[in-house]
Structure 1
Amino acid sequence: MEKEAKILVVDDEERIRKLLRMYLERENYLIEEAENGEVALEMALNADYDLILLDLMMPGIDGIEVCTRLRKTKATPVIMLTAKGEEANRVQGFEVGTDDYIVKPFSPREVVLRVKALLRRSSSTKFLQTDTQAKDVLVFPYLTIDNDAHRVTVEGKEISLTPKEYELLYYLAQSPDKVFSREQLLKDVWNYDFFGDLRTVDTHIKRLREKLNRVSPEAASMISTVWGVGYKFEAVKE
């Protein structure tokens, strides 16, 4: 039986929290609120949310710091809410593990659509899985990607990835030994014509390798750097 998604809305402006709550509750999501980064971080670490809507600029601990600390232990999907003119901050947000961003002022309907889209592809969202018979599975030595379940297992052990980490791995693994530039990965994985810092890709690759390496150095080595070009997934043979 499906359960409702549980979403944490974080913003220091009460009117924005109430607006988002109203629109998201219409979609039958369960909404909790936090008015600052300190409260948000405590709630996010002590409860399991299906998604977090996180304001970037807040007094005290800002959205970047909240996401940075959260990513040390959890892969909860995060959509960052940013003001216009904060391009550098959005780049930094992607680098610390944000999955998507929405620019203020925003349309509440756009927020709902972005939330639905991220939940659909989220590796940590189990309530949307209705087909238990896997049909789309990539199997390699050391590593298996079950795309129907959005699940990655390394030598039989499931690992927790953020939505963007999962999408990046799956995208590379679909075309073994094909080299992708950073620009192409940003465009195809992030769905964003990104005129910012290409370190976003490097940071996600680094984090992805670290997670794989904790279980299997062999699996981590399958993500190969092609110097001066980009990255590729090497389908190693046993």
Structure 2
Amino acid sequence: MQRVALVDDDRNILASLSVMLESEGYEVDTYSDPELALREVTRRPPDVAVLDVKMPRMDGFDLLRSIRLRSQMPVVMLSSVSDETDMVMGLRLGADDYVTKPFSPRVLLERLRACSRRAERDMTLHGAEAPSRRLECGPLVMNDECHSATWGGKPLRLTRNEFQVLHFLAERPGYVRSRQQILDLLHGDDLEVDDRTIDTQIKRLRTKLRAVDPEFEAIDTVYGVGYRFMAPITA
């Protein structure tokens, strides 16, 4: 039996979707509080999650960002706004599908089934185990499940933000990440945060990496654009 996490501040929607999905054989967890939902799906990941976009304190985009730091579970976004910008934002953040309210419960059901089929196919193609949480790029090895990072076998003591920035750069070596992309990763839609704080994060990262490797030069500054990670060739 597959388990679905429904996150929406509208309790009527939670109740109606829960009844429909349970009648189709799903086990359903419902949350009207997105912060509680994040704690619970982190502790006990469901097979698929359905997130409303417009919620108080933490909206669906913020919740999706936080989930994607921990899991690649299939996620379907719900929105009462048929705005292409919202849809693009959700998909860029890692949503697997997007449904606009009002919607047919049967349509949502089929979207969930399609997401589950894709996830099962990916597991078949890449092995029966869950997707690896280990990233290796040259001398750098990171594991986001246990928040560990090493360079050339030497441990790096990174803050949460430093870990996220380094992982973000290293997962696509040679690819330029703009300051705004890194800012979005760390702070979401907080417009009060100066993008120059990213320069400080990069400076601290370089300092910590040079502490274990004085010749470290793997984070390039692309002036006027952002930063990129260039993994050194190892023997």
Instruction: With the length of structure 1 as denominator, give the TM-score of the two structures.
Output: 0.53
Compared CA separation, residues 50 and 209, structure 1 to 2 (3 A) = farther
Instruction: Name the larger-Rg structure.
Output: 2
Shift of 1:18: 0.8
In structure 2, the partner of 1:69 is 66
Compared CA separation, residues 158 and 78, structure 1 to 2 (3 A) = closer
Shift of 1:85: 3.2
Query: 2 CA distance for matches of 1:27 and 1:82?
Result: 23
Indicate which of 154, 159, 183 corresponds to 2:132: 159
Give CA deviations for 1:118-149 in whole Å, capped at 9, x if unaligned.
11111xx5xxx8xxxxxxxxxxxxxxxxx671
Indicate which of 102, 106, 116 corresponds to 1:105: 102
The question of 1:92 aligning with 2:92 is answered: no
Give the alignment's Cα RMSD to 1 decimal: 3.0
Shift of 1:151: 1.8
Query: 2 CA distance for matches of 1:78 and 1:92?
Result: 14
Shift of 1:36: 2.3
Compared CA separation, residues 148 and 94, structure 1 to 2 (3 A) = closer
Instruction: With the length of structure 2 as denominator, give the TM-score of the two structures.
Output: 0.54
Misfit runs of 4+, over 2 Å? 84-87, 157-161, 206-209
Higher relative contact order (CA 8 A, sep 6+): 1
Aligned length: 141
In structure 1, the partner of 2:117 is 120
In structure 1, the partner of 2:171 is 210
Compared CA separation, residues 51 and 160, structure 1 to 2 (3 A) = farther
Shift of 1:212: 9.7
Structure 2, gaps ≥5 residues long: 135-166, 175-235
Question: What secondary structure sits across from 1:60 in the alignment?
Answer: coil
Compared CA separation, residues 5 and 207, structure 1 to 2 (3 A) = farther
Question: What secondary structure sits across from 2:171 in the alignment?
Answer: helix
Question: Identity percentage over the alignment?
Answer: 30
What letter is aligned with 1:112? L
Structure 1, gaps ≥5 residues long: 130-146, 162-205, 214-238
What letter is aligned with 2:48? L
